[in-house]
Amino acid sequence: MRYGSVCSGIEAATVAWHSLGWVPSFFSEIEKFPRDVLAHHYPDVPLHGDFTTIGENQYGSIDLLVGGTPCQSFSIAGLRKGLDDDRGNLSLEFIKLAQRERPRWVVWENVPGVLSSNGGKDFGSFLGALGEIGYGFAYRVLDASGFGVCQPRRRVFVVGFYADWRRSAAVLFDRKSLAGTPKKRPKIESEGALFFRGGNRAIDREWPETLSARDCNEPQLVTTENYVRKLTPLEYERLQGFPDGYTNIKDKCPDGPRYKALGNSMAVPVMKWIGERIQMVDSITS
């Protein structure tokens, strides 16, 4: 499977899909720190800037296009301008790129606020445009806490397959997950236990919502028995499913860009599950 990634961030998709043997044809990212992370880990993968300028087959044909276009215009924490915001309009630019590239699969991610933005019309416009260029699709809200990480992080995932909605539905809706049995959220432990795997005992606390880009200025707090402290970038990496030190790419790497990049990222275990489901469907239907 060859894929192209836009609004790549620090590439949760590639971390998730490497074990599947999938190969990235290109990344596209405009922010400096995430670009530095990508250049550090994937020096041989073409790194584009503004994805709206990617030409047809510029980096060769791809089987899958993945991206999480900016969520701020759809977030309940933002101004909720939806497609009237240039950032929201990038979701339609994603459609245009899919039309130019014609991959078999598309995977798109955003915040749950996209479902209610402009009374649902914005999300309807996105899905309608995806259908107009020939893709059957399915969408589902997935919570990262159900995939083994210690944070409730709900995101909307759209999976499309060219000319067939049934394959998209088969990816996102498995029989086991529809049985209605919720997974128990992992207990929260102090940094010395959960995050460094040391000997400290677990601290049974609820994890705060929504690592987000805003946390670059006000990192999330965790409560232990004796004090309240900020989460570290290492803990952010583990909460999102990244390898330890993934964003610590140089000596004295500042924390702020790491918080922001991790807050903007997809959760690696969720992307791995989606990739595994796509691979399974491909193996059955090919």
pLDDT in tens, 94-120: 999 999 999 999 999 999 988 988 888
1-12 mean pLDDT: 97
- Average pLDDT of the chain is 82
Q: Which residues share a beta bridge with 158?
A: 108, 139
Of the candidates 63, 13, 62, the residue with the CA atom closest to the CA atom of residue 34: 13
pLDDT at 22: 98
Residue 53, token pair as written in the block: 């300028």
Domains of the chain: 2-175+268-285 (3.40.50.150), 191-263 (no CATH)
**Active-site entry in 71, 150, 216, 253:** 71
Q: Closest by alpha carbon to 111, among 125, 129, 123, 121?
A: 123
- When pLDDT is averaged across residues 51-79 and rounded to a whole number, the result is 79
What DSSP state is assigned to residue 213?
Answer: G
Q: Per-residue pLDDT tens for 159-177? A: 999 999 999 999 999 877 6
Residue-level pLDDT at 63: 98
pLDDT category of residue 187 using cuts at 50, 70 and 90: very low
Verify whether residue 71 is a known catalytic residue: yes
Q: Which residues pair with 140 in a beta bridge?
A: 157
> Residues 28-34: what's their mean pLDDT?
96
Q: Give 143-161 pLDDT, tens digit per residue.
A: 999 999 888 899 999 999 9
The alpha carbons of the chain give a radius of gyration, in whole angstroms, of 19
Taking the mean position of all CA atoms in its chain, how far away is CA 282? 22
Q: Name the 3-class secondary structure at 2.
A: strand
Over range 53-61, report the average pLDDT: 94
Q: What pLDDT does 125 receive?
A: 87
Question: In the prediction, which pLDDT does 218 show?
Answer: 54
